[in-house]
Amino acid sequence: MGLFLLLKFTRHMKKNKKLYVNLGLLSFFIWLLIFSYNSSKRKPENVSDLLNDFSWLHQWPKWLDLPLMKYINIIFKKLNETYGWIFEAINNFLLWQLMTLKNFLILAPWPLVVLGVAAIAYFASGKKIGTTVFVGFCTFFIGFLHPIFWTKAIETTSIMLISIFLCVTFGIPVGILMSRSERIRDKILPILDLMQTIPAFVYLIPGIMLFGLGAVPAIIATFIYAVPPLVRLTDLGIRLVDKEVTEAADAFGADTKQKLFGVQLPLALPNIMQGINQATMMALAMVVIASMIGTRGLGDEVLLGLQQLNVGRAAEAGIAIVLLAIVLDRITQSYGERLQARNMPTKKEKN
Amino acid sequence: MRFLKKLGLSMLFASVLALGTTSANAECKARLGDFDWSSANIHTAISAFILEKGYGCQVEVTKGSTTPIMAAHYDKQLDVITEVWYDNIIANYEPYVENGTIMNIGVNTPDSQQAFYVDKTTADKYNLKSVEDMKDPKIAALFTDPEDPSKGRMTSCISGWTCYTVNLVKQKEYGLDEFYTNFDPGSGGALDAAIAGAFAKKKPIFTYYWAPTGLMGKVDLVRLTEPKFSKKCWDDMSAVVEDIKANGPDAYKPSCACEYRDMALTKSVLTEWAKAHPKETKFLEKYTVPTATVNKMLAFYEDESDGDMELTAREFLKTESMWKKWVPAAVAKKVTAAL
């Protein structure tokens, strides 16, 4: 009998699932209201006061305040005290990577670095001379604007390269996962929205307390800000692969792994490249903000120009950041174009 | 269409309402300059409250970092600054006093401090008392700068603030620059977070900091002694500091260095504004709060007000009575009524 009732009840629950979920949410909301009222320090002495004096309808009442801040602070403090060593380890690892890259680039003679960047542009663009010369000149002009900018640009670039490396190692797998399951995508999309919209300072300040001042919180912040477009474009790129092509792969008996690495990823590569390009541009946008937490680099110069009311200094540094953006954009973009051209042989024949 | 019409009408109505309220007290308008650290915020909040409720002024507060706010003040865009770190900016402030643009109207907090500090645990363990004690590679290794491991990190002042350059010169004069970097934390919030983070993780920290601040009441920092303050030495150093600020770090010349004077923070007003608003200026002249009270209010601000500066100002006006001596009885009554 009892079992029967339970069975009936579960069936009933299943049928009206949505209703119960909504009811649950409503009761949770009411509980929140009561909870925050009770924990507020500025509530009236008696609940009945609320019915006698309606002035609280006029202005948002001080007692109608979710005590989220208090709990976040408690959790954060706990995190810092108990799990500080984990963040320390991450910090040391990222910093070691960064210092190695930075010291290598700084110790290398600058003409060699300029030539190196031009060489990368040359091969990435498929041996286009125009792009190569343009990129080479832009690189040269960063140092030409102000000798200090050369080292600063290298510092900025190192931070960005590490962030982009993190973006690629985490972003592409997540994008692939999203493209394969509707459910995972529904869960991840809001998180990506959150990452793109939440103001950077919200996670920069706790970042300092966890990782210490300097480059590492900036790398983490840049990662948070720059990874969403890469995830989105990887997901989109794989889903845009022609159905016929994947069907053909199925017909040849390819398993999931072969299909992914042999068909879907190569065809999605232009889109993924675009994602990397977008992530790079977003990362550059973080440069100035990152300098507000003691990160060395070009953003530092902009901030200093601003704080000293030195228009020329800020503008020079701003132009240097734009030049750096052009260099990185041209390299990634032209590589993407080349991939695209390779993936569309029919179009090439028509031309 | 009807919706648009309605919207237009209601917007017109709203703007008329807004105009009505502003024109009612247009005879007194005060543009207050505020900074990005809490002790300045609290003075601005208290004086804004008194000016608004007691004198019926229309108050407008602009917040920013030292250089832009002071520049706006010199440019007659801001009427009142309630907390001026006079000694730090003496060289660019004085000329405007001399040409009559602005007036120094006395002390706001009588005994503020700025100095180099080390956390107490480390200071006790290694017996660190003065900046001289810091000049030891073994001590510097305690504070290793992760981005420049050959040196220790002295978390310094924000690079746009004058104290950054002052610290730079001090480091060179004391011979600290061989052992420590002059690390720019980028912003006031980042500096606070760095200190708080070091204490939370119980790691040694060597930093420039100042009081009155809320954080100072919560962490245990030991002040390192420096050569005693002397006017001559400070002025010599200030000249070098201004030179570096204008021409870059290469302009450094060996001069002199000594401790920051435990100084009085001052208030500043535009001369024009003071002439037009004699009553309000009189109040601002009398305005002064001891450091202990400021620290207490800052602790209230951080721990109990949920970060609400206006509530903190109200708390001050409710619990303290010193402000009643700054204003005539009628004004005090109005302020009390508004609490």
Q: With respect to residue A233, please indicate whether it lies within any of the assigned structural domains.
A: yes
- Which DSSP string corresponds to A17-42? HHHHHHHHHHHHHHHHHHHHHHH-SS
Q: Which of A71, A76, A103, A208 to mutate to test the interface with B (most CBs of B within 10 A)?
A: A208
Q: Which domain holds residue A322?
A: 82-343
Q: Work out the average pLDDT over B132-152.
A: 89
Distance CA A273, CA A270 (A): 5
3-state DSSP call for residue A188? helix
Which residue is closest to A84 within chain B, CA to CA? B201
pLDDT score, position A38: 84
Distance CA B214, CA B207 (A): 16
Query: Which of A80, A81, A213 is the closest to B190 by Cβ?
Result: A213
Contact B156, B199 (CB under 8 A): no
pLDDT score, position B17: 44
Q: With respect to residue A235, please indicate whether it lies within any of the assigned structural domains.
A: yes
> Domain check: are A244 and A178 in the same one?
yes
Q: Which of B155, B158, B187 to mutate to test the interface with A (most CBs of A within 10 A)?
A: B187
Contact B83, B40 (CB under 8 A): yes
pLDDT of residue A71 exceeding 90 = no
Which DSSP letter does residue B225 get?
B
Q: With respect to residue A253, please indicate whether it lies within any of the assigned structural domains.
A: yes
Which residue is closest to A215 within chain B, CA to CA? B147
**Tens of pLDDT, residues B159-209:** 878 888 899 999 999 999 999 999 988 888 889 889 988 888 888 999 999
Contact B206, B121 (CB under 8 A): no
pLDDT of residue B15 exceeding 70 = no
Per-residue pLDDT band for A85 (boundaries 50, 70, 90) equals: confident
Q: Which A residues, 107 through 146, put their C-beta within 8 Å of a C-beta on chain B?
A: none
Which of these three, A39, A66, A93, is where a domain ends? A66
Q: With respect to residue A173, please indicate whether it lies within any of the assigned structural domains.
A: yes
Please state whether beta strands B148-155 and B263-270 pair in parallel, antiparallel, or not at all (unpaired): unpaired
Rounded to a whole number of angstroms, the distance from the CA of B303 to the nearest CA of chain A is: 10
Distance CA A221, CA A201 (A): 9
Distance CA B180, CA B151 (A): 5
Tokens of A21: 């979920």
Contact A226, A200 (CB under 8 A): no
Q: With respect to residue A149, please indicate whether it lies within any of the assigned structural domains.
A: yes
Contact A179, A234 (CB under 8 A): yes
Per-residue pLDDT band for A186 (boundaries 50, 70, 90) equals: very high
- Which DSSP string corresponds to A265-283? HHHHHHHHHHHHHHHHHHH
Residues on B contacting A at a C-beta cutoff of 8 Å: 65-68, 71, 146-147, 155, 158-161, 183-187, 189-190, 193-194, 196-198, 200-201, 245, 304, 306-307
Query: Which of B146, B187, B200 is the closest to A95 by Cβ?
Result: B146
Write the CA distances from A210 to A22, A214, B121, B200, integer angstroms.
Answer: 38, 11, 20, 9
Tokens of B166: 């002052």
Distance CA B87, CA B98 (A): 16
> Domain check: are A107 and A55 in the same one?
no
> Domain check: are A295 and A319 in the same one?
yes
Per-residue pLDDT band for A191 (boundaries 50, 70, 90) equals: very high
B190 with A208: Cβ contact below 8 A: yes
Distance CA B270, CA B277 (A): 10
Tokens of B146: 């992760």
A208 contact residues in B (CB cutoff 8 A):
190, 193-194, 197
Query: Which of B160, B197, B201 is the closest to A307 by Cβ?
Result: B160
Q: With respect to residue A199, please indicate whether it lies within any of the assigned structural domains.
A: yes
What burial class does residue A147 get, using C-beta atoms within 10 Å of its C-beta: 0-12 exposed, 13-18 middle, 19+ buried? exposed
Q: With respect to residue A349, please indicate whether it lies within any of the assigned structural domains.
A: no
How many percent of chain A have pLDDT more than 70?
97
A59 contact residues in B (CB cutoff 8 A):
none
Per the prediction, chain A carries an average pLDDT of: 86
> Domain check: are A114 and A263 in the same one?
yes
Distance CA B190, CA B196 (A): 10
Distance CA B20, CA B26 (A): 10
Q: Which A residues, 147 through 206, put their C-beta within 8 Å of a C-beta on chain B?
A: 201, 204-206
Question: Residue B204, preceding bond cis, omega within 30 degrees?
Answer: no
User: Which residue segments constitute the domains of chain B, with CATH numbers given?
Assistant: 27-110+264-338 (3.40.190.10), 112-251 (3.40.190.100)
pLDDT score, position A171: 93
**Tens of pLDDT, residues B282-298:** 999 999 888 878 888 88
What burial class does residue B120 get, using C-beta atoms within 10 Å of its C-beta: 0-12 exposed, 13-18 middle, 19+ buried? middle
Contact B5, B34 (CB under 8 A): no
Rounded to a whole number of angstroms, the distance from the CA of B283 to the nearest CA of chain A is: 31
> Domain check: are A199 and A326 in the same one?
yes
At A113, the amino acid letter reads V
Domain count, chain A: 2
pLDDT of residue A45 exceeding 50 = yes
Rounded to a whole number of angstroms, the distance from the CA of B198 to the nearest CA of chain A is: 7
A99 contact residues in B (CB cutoff 8 A):
147
> Domain check: are A197 and A105 in the same one?
yes
Kindly state whether A295 is in contact with chain B, defined as any CB-CB distance less than 8 angstroms. yes
How many residues are listed for chain A in this entry? Answer: 351
Contact A267, A343 (CB under 8 A): yes
Q: B56: closest CA among B331, B326, B275?
A: B331
At A326, the amino acid letter reads I
Q: Work out the average pLDDT over B274-287.
A: 90
What b/e sequence results for B215-227 when a residue is b if at least 16 CB atoms lie within 10 Å of its CB, and e otherwise?
bbeebebbbbebb
Tokens of A92: 């040391």
> Domain check: are A62 and A196 in the same one?
no
Contact B85, B54 (CB under 8 A): no
Please state whether beta strands B263-270 and B80-84 pair in parallel, antiparallel, or not at all (unpaired): antiparallel
> Domain check: are A232 and A268 in the same one?
yes
Please state whether beta strands B206-211 and B102-119 pair in parallel, antiparallel, or not at all (unpaired): antiparallel
A80 contact residues in B (CB cutoff 8 A):
197, 200-201
**Tens of pLDDT, residues A199-214:** 888 888 888 888 888 8
Distance CA B56, CA B81 (A): 19
Per-residue pLDDT band for A347 (boundaries 50, 70, 90) equals: very low
Distance CA B339, CA B49 (A): 10
Please state whether beta strands B29-35 and B80-84 pair in parallel, antiparallel, or not at all (unpaired): parallel
Per the prediction, chain B carries an average pLDDT of: 85
Distance CA A14, CA B219 (A): 56
Distance CA B289, CA B142 (A): 38
B147 with A99: Cβ contact below 8 A: yes
pLDDT score, position B50: 92
Distance CA A267, CA A259 (A): 11
Which DSSP letter does residue B261 get?
P
Q: With respect to residue A348, please indicate whether it lies within any of the assigned structural domains.
A: no
Kindly state whether A8 is in contact with chain B, defined as any CB-CB distance less than 8 angstroms. no
At B337, the amino acid letter reads A
> Domain check: are A156 and A277 in the same one?
yes
Q: B251: closest CA among B168, B155, B156?
A: B168
> Domain check: are A287 and A188 in the same one?
yes
> Domain check: are A24 and A89 in the same one?
no
B300 contact residues in A (CB cutoff 8 A):
none
> Domain check: are A52 and A86 in the same one?
no
Q: B255: closest CA among B237, B276, B274?
A: B237
Rounded to a whole number of angstroms, the distance from the CA of A195 to the nearest CA of chain B is: 21
**Tens of pLDDT, residues A276-325:** 999 999 998 888 888 888 888 898 888 888 777 788 888 999 999 999 99
Residue B130: beta bridge partners? B225
B305 contact residues in A (CB cutoff 8 A):
none
Residue B71, CB-side half-sphere exposure with 13 Å CA sphere? 11
pLDDT score, position A256: 84
Please, which residues have CB within 8 angstroms of residue A316's CB and are 6 or more apart in sequence? A145, A146, A149, A301, A305
Query: Which of B68, B186, B304 is the closest to A292 by Cβ?
Result: B186
